């Protein structure tokens, strides 16, 4: 992490933490109000209803407002439909981040198999003048502030009994958009990892 920070400082680059998450039609467990002695139970359709995949980037640079950049993909179980993000989706998300941030990027993400495919490695090598990539240690989600973003999203949709995949997708997008306009939440997710930007 220290190497990533020093490279970012030397290049005037953004430090970008990336991670993926997903949500099925079965909502995560959440707390809510109810009558004393009566636990509220909401029945939902959960099987075979599809999934919403999310890829997000928590972006930080000293002296700049923190940013959140994300992509959403719906999986409806159709033949030939990818279940999640492809390497091209990650490439396009990284390029979009560079355009939106307007400068070089130090990308920090986990070592998921899709992150290590040869076409992405070739893309990284071809764009080394503006992109530096670091892998997080194995099983270290506590070092990635994007995990905190997913926690905020799932807490918000915990009491949503979506009627269909479209409603779930709209709820996820709405929450992510709210977080985009509240940079203090993105900052809080970085603080929650124990990491800090110098300067």
HEC string of 34-55 equals CCCCCCCCCCCCCCCCCEEEEE
58, 189 Cβ separation under 8 angstroms: yes
What pLDDT is recorded for position 6?
65
Nearest residue to 190 (alpha-carbon basis) of 136, 141, 148, 145: 145
With a cut of 70, list the residues of the chain below it in pLDDT.
Answer: 1-10, 27-33, 42-49, 198-199
Rounded CA separation 199/35 (Å): 50
Residue 106 has a CB neighbour count (10 Å cut-off) of 24
pLDDT tens sequence across 72-104: 999 887 787 778 899 999 999 999 999 999 999
32, 40 Cβ separation under 8 angstroms: yes
pTM of the model: 0.85
Share of the chain above pLDDT 90, in %: 58
């Amino acid at each position: 992490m220290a190497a990533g920070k020093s490279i970012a400082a030397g290049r005037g680059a953004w430090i970008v933490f990336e991670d993926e998450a997903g949500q099925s039609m079965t909502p995560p467990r959440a707390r809510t109000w109810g009558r004393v002695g009566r636990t509220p139970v909401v029945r939902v359709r959960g099987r075979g209803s599809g999934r919403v995949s999310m890829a997000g980037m928590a972006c930080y640079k000293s002296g700049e407002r923190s940013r959140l950049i994300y992509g959403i993909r719906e999986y409806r179980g159709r033949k030939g439909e990818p279940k999640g993000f492809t390497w091209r989706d990650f490439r396009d998300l990284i390029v979009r981040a560079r355009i939106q941030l307007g400068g070089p990027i130090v990308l920090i993400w986990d070592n998921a198999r899709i992150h290590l495919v040869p076409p992405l490695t070739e893309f990284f090598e071809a764009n080394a003048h503006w992109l530096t990539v670091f892998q997080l240690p194995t099983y270290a989600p506590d070092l990635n502030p994007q995990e905190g973003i997913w926690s905020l999203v799932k807490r918000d949709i915990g009491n949503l009994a979506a009627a269909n995949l479209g409603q779930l997708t709209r709820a996820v997008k709405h929450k992510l958009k709210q977080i985009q306009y509240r940079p203090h939440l993105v900052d809080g997710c970085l603080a929650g990892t124990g990491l800090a930007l110098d300067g």
